[in-house]
Structure 1
């Protein structure tokens, strides 16, 4: 069975915890992605910022995207997956935490990102349906 490092998108770029949301939105746009890991000045992963976070938690609440920083949107400890964890473990982690994207770490180093589509391609068909159902339920 494939492991995370086999199916991830390698070399994920971070948005800095102190970067403002406007900078983060431009980075999402430039990279053509829907999520970026949030990294602190200590090079530790602080969370994941999604395009939805920007719309709902910043714009939707009338906050200024130039004054709001990415670190303000990091919620507790980031949910991650180990680089050598297999597709079943990735599936279980995504379902348990109701997330569609996971940072992949090797020790404490961010080595990539894995998205729902990556896992769907790696899992047998019945598990893919289970994952989509688990992520879609409230």
Structure 2
């Protein structure tokens, strides 16, 4: 699925102004941030201001609530999982490939070791043709 003709980079399609939840913040704090921001996922940043992972609303439900863990005592960092990201100057094709390869719907965009923004399905919907978007969705949601 090539979008090379657009010449756009990850920085051109991401949304900026991404807020992080701290790795030591509780899942209640993360949940409240998601509610306030109207998002279903948050990047997790460490004390060193570096990206540590991403937490989703589903992660909180499945890996905390359903397991009987305390939402006030469990930290975002405890649920941080595989760190996948793309450089701000990467092509859209590279970002799409990364998302498809890892079956993820949100991709942090990094510049100089700092979180610059996020690419989501909604961001891609604005940039890709209907056919390319359908191919992307099929690949992301496909089972290995």
Instruction: State the SS of the aligned residue for 1:30.
Output: helix
Give TM-score scaled by structure 2 length. 0.90
Give the structure 2 partner of residue 24 of structure 1. Answer: 30
Give the structure 2 partner of residue 126 of structure 1. Answer: 131
Q: CA deviation at 1:58?
A: 0.7
Give the structure 1 partner of residue 70 of structure 2. Answer: 64
Greater shift after overlay, 119-128 or 26-35? 119-128
1:23-42 paired onto structure 2 within 5 Å:
23-42=29-48
Q: CA deviation at 1:126?
A: 2.6
Residues 87 and 122 in structure 1, CA contact (< 8 A), matched pair in contact too: no
Give TM-score scaled by structure 1 length. 0.94
Could you list the runs of 5+ residues in structure 1 that have no partner in the other structure? none
Q: 1:92 aligns with which of 90, 97, 105?
A: 97
Could you list the runs of 5+ residues in structure 2 that have no partner in the other structure? 1-5
Q: CA deviation at 1:117?
A: 1.7
Instruction: State the SS of the aligned residue for 1:84.
Output: coil
Distance 2:14 2:37 in 1: 16
Q: 1:3 aligns with which of 9, 12, 37?
A: 9
